[in-house]
Amino acid sequence: MTKLLEVEGLAKNFGGLQVSADISMTLNAGDRCALIGPNGAGKTTFVNLVTGVIPPSAGTIRLAGRDITRLPAAERVRLGLIRSFQVARLFKSMTVREHLELAVLQRDRRTFRLFASVGKVAGLADEVAGLLDTMGLTQAAHTAVGSLAYGQQRLLEIALALAMKPKVLILDEPAAGVPHSESQRILDAIDRLPEDLAVLMIEHDMDLVFRFARTIVVLAQGRLLCSGTAKEIVADPRVREVYLGSRADAR
Ligand SMILES: Nc1ncnc2c1ncn2[C@@H]1O[C@H](COP(=O)(O)OP(=O)(O)OP(=O)(O)O)[C@@H](O)[C@H]1O
Ligand SMILES: [Mg+2]
């Protein structure tokens, strides 16, 4: 198995407040891992540390064997550590296809050609068609982003992340705000992600977690409470106590 993301002894203090402590975990190629834990457990802080939004107080982060602990966020993106985009960054009047074209060109640093001849950039149309297909957005290719249904916006966010050619893809609540009836479409799209990608999903909806994840990492009070297969985690009494509670008992 190819180790893609290796986190060792990661810690973060804000002043005197320790919000992350001694977190170690590994993601291998092909992993489908969910990061769960109660509100305030430190999930978002962990993602911010890994992606380089904030510097850690201690610990190391390696991507495909390379120490990235001190690399700036943009450099980590270039190396293939990608977090899904946020809705607020989308330009509302641009179409879905235009967004994806821009993302691919930006990745290859070819944006200067955008105004000249998008149609002539080798491979661009095929790559964008592939992204649309993977995310189930082909029908919406010519729709302005401002008119997209919320579920489709979330799919576009994942498509934009995918356009960066990730090795490790971090999805922060990919179905947030999407009606439960539509969340299956997002899961279906996630199922079609490239197999060798390592995917880490932060998610509160346990139905989604159990449908997506082969492994689960549980954070509580800034620490790793436990990790294992979905089956092991749901059966772990410590997890029931801090998080799953009556929900797991009801199963
Ligand atoms: N910049 C900051 N300064 C001080 N404390 C912070 C900062 N960012 C986060 N915290 C604290 O760190 C703890 C973990 O927060 P974090 O947002 O990582 O939790 P979370 O697991 O993502 O929660 P949620 O499920 O609500 O999204 C919280 O107690 C929070 O108040
Ligand atoms: Mg959070």
Do 154 and 174 contact (CB within 8 A), yes or no? Answer: yes
User: Which residue out of 10, 17, 18, 19 has the highest number of ligand 1 atoms within 8 Å of its CB and is therefore the one to mutate?
Assistant: 19
User: Cβ < 6 Å from ligand 1: which residues?
Assistant: 14, 17, 19, 37, 39-45
Domain carrying residue 17: 3-250
**Amino acid, res. 129:** A
Owner of token pair 């576009």: 156
Tell me, in angstroms, the distance from the centre of ligand 2 to residue 203's CA.
9
Tell me, in angstroms, the distance from the centre of ligand 2 to residue 18's CA.
16
The pTM (predicted TM-score) of the whole model is 0.91
**pLDDT computed for residue 129 by the predictor:** 96
* 161-215 tens-digit pLDDT: 999 999 999 998 888 888 888 888 899 999 999 999 999 999 988 888 999 999 9
- Say which ligand is closest to the CA of 35: 1
**pLDDT computed for residue 240 by the predictor:** 84
CATH number for position 199 = 3.40.50.300
Which of the 8 DSSP states describes residue 137?
A: -
**Nearest of 4, 50, 3, 23 to residue 168 by alpha carbon:** 4
**Nearest of 106, 81, 85, 107 to residue 167 by alpha carbon:** 81
Which of the 8 DSSP states describes residue 176?
A: T
Q: How many domains does the chain have?
A: 1
Q: Is pLDDT above 70 for 249?
A: no
Please give the residue that has the higher pLDDT: either 19 or 117. Answer: 19
**8 exposure class (CB count in 10 Å sphere: 0-12, 13-18, 19+):** middle
User: Which residue out of 45, 173, 209 has the highest number of ligand 1 atoms within 8 Å of its CB and is therefore the one to mutate?
Assistant: 45
Owner of token pair 């661009």: 124
- Say which ligand is closest to the CA of 12: 1
**pLDDT computed for residue 112 by the predictor:** 57
Q: Is pLDDT above 50 for 52?
A: yes
d(CA 211, CA 7): 25
